[in-house]
Amino acid sequence: MIKVLVVEDSPAVREFLVHLFGSDPGIKVVGTANDGEQALDAVRRHRPDVITMDIHMPRMDGLDATRRIMETYPTPIVIVSGSTDPREVATTFRAMEAGAVAVLRRPAGIGHPDHEATAGELIRTVKLMSEVKVIKRWPKGQRRAEVPRTAAANPVLVEARVKVIAIGASTGGPPVLQTILAALPRDLPTPVLIVQHMAAGFTQGFVQWLAQTSSLPVHLAAHDEPVRPGHVYVAPDEFQMRVERSGKIVLTKDAPENGLRPSVSYLLRSVTEVYGSDAIAGLLTGMGHDGVEELRQLKDKGAITFAQDKDSSVVHGMPGEAIKRDAATLVLPPEKIAATLANLAKNHM
């Protein structure tokens, strides 16, 4: 039985979420809270397995509550947001910086055509997140530097030619991508292509949030857009994204791959065809195996590939599978990924 704490200031929404979780025999709502202060008290008393967190609340909002919980009683936190306004969503992603593991739209109401699908997604996410091992958060100055583990000799890296960087991420990916992009130099000579698995409606806000800390321009990718050096392109909701030999981005409504659209596999396959050994590509924290086989194919072509290390991953599914299948040239924490990407790209100049 998964113990859930529901934190939500609206009585109607709170009752709706309690009813929703109560309909699943594997979930038990052990408490509710109207604001962040009540949430902290409820976490101490009930020790839930998962917390669903509203952001906009009186007294203490969801962002501060997430920070405090992760510093005192680390618990998987799923942000449940009623807004997809890009500006508000960009604020919501700050809760992921603080340690939240997922962001989802509030499910549609009973009787709405999307109710079943959105309610099912929330229940599945809560169940999956209950298995995530989260760690206590410390002030940045107290975090220990991690030593990268590499599986390639330095001469290989020096000789690498780089024309594109492609990255795939899922659960826990947004703050890792933020760390990487914030550390890349303004004069990066290559474009960066990103597929981040995310609930529909949040990607535009995600792009705006990333842009706040990156010296590189961050775009929501557009169909037929030229790929330019030093620019970051994020795949939009419900589109597959690929690159073509003409140097342009193509967005399609092709079928989902690995149940996903956008799919990392779809992007990496085109990167393999167009760039081959002149690419750097990698997989960050996330569930499943999207992009793993294609990453291995890129490595076989001579490209430099990387996977996020286990210690820094919220979920070591995608990168863990890449390591198991010998698809990763390098295994690195986020801070080292950024430095490595910048160095490899500059070696091409």
pLDDT tens, position by position, 246-294: 999 999 999 999 999 999 999 999 999 999 999 999 999 998 999 999 9
Most confident of 22-36, 116-130, 199-213: 22-36
Closest CA to 302 of 320, 282, 275, 321: 275
- Rg (C-alpha) for the chain, rounded Å, is 20
Residues of the chain with CATH 3.40.50.2300: 2-129
CATH fold for domain 2-129: Rossmann fold (3.40.50)
CA torsion sign for 177, 178, 181, 183 is: negative
> Locate tokens 């960009």: which residue?
90
Average pLDDT over residues 131-154: 52
Mean pLDDT across the chain:
89
Least confident of 26-40, 108-122, 144-158, 159-173: 144-158
Name the pLDDT band for 142 (thresholds 50, 70, 90).
very low
Can you give the pLDDT at residue 232?
Answer: 98
CATH fold for domain 149-347: Rossmann fold (3.40.50)
If one counts every other C-beta atom within 10 angstroms of the C-beta of residue 26, the result is 11
What percent of the chain is predicted at pLDDT more than 90?
A: 69
Least confident of 150-164, 230-244, 247-261, 316-330: 150-164
Q: Provide CB contacts within 8 A for 233, sequence distance 6+.
A: 191, 192, 193, 194, 219, 221, 225, 227, 241, 249
Do the beta carbons of residue 289 and residue 267 sit within 8 Å? no
Closest CA to 42 of 8, 80, 12, 11: 8
- Residue 253 Rama label (left phi>0; alpha psi -120 to 50; beta): alpha
State both tokens at 275.
Answer: 């760039």
- Tell me the catalytic residues: 170, 197, 290
Q: Provide CB contacts within 8 A for 226, sequence distance 6+.
A: 247, 248, 249
Longest CA–CA span in the chain (Å) reads 61
Beta-bridge mates of residue 53: 7, 79
If one counts every other C-beta atom within 10 angstroms of the C-beta of residue 337, the result is 28
Could you report the per-residue pLDDT of 227-256, keeping only the tens digit for each?
999 999 999 999 999 999 999 999 999 999
Residue 313 burial class via C-beta count within 10 angstroms: exposed 0-12, middle 13-18, buried 19 and up? buried
Do the beta carbons of residue 338 and residue 312 sit within 8 Å? no
Q: Whole-model pTM?
A: 0.86
DSSP assignment of 242-309 equals EE-TTSBEEEE-PPPBTTBSS-HHHHHHHHHHHTGGGEEEEE-SBSS-TTHHHHHHHHHTT-EEEEE-
Could you report the per-residue pLDDT of 66-89, keeping only the tens digit for each?
999 999 999 999 999 887 777 777
Residues of the chain with CATH 3.40.50.180: 149-347
Name the pLDDT band for 348 (thresholds 50, 70, 90).
low
Do the beta carbons of residue 157 and residue 58 sit within 8 Å? no
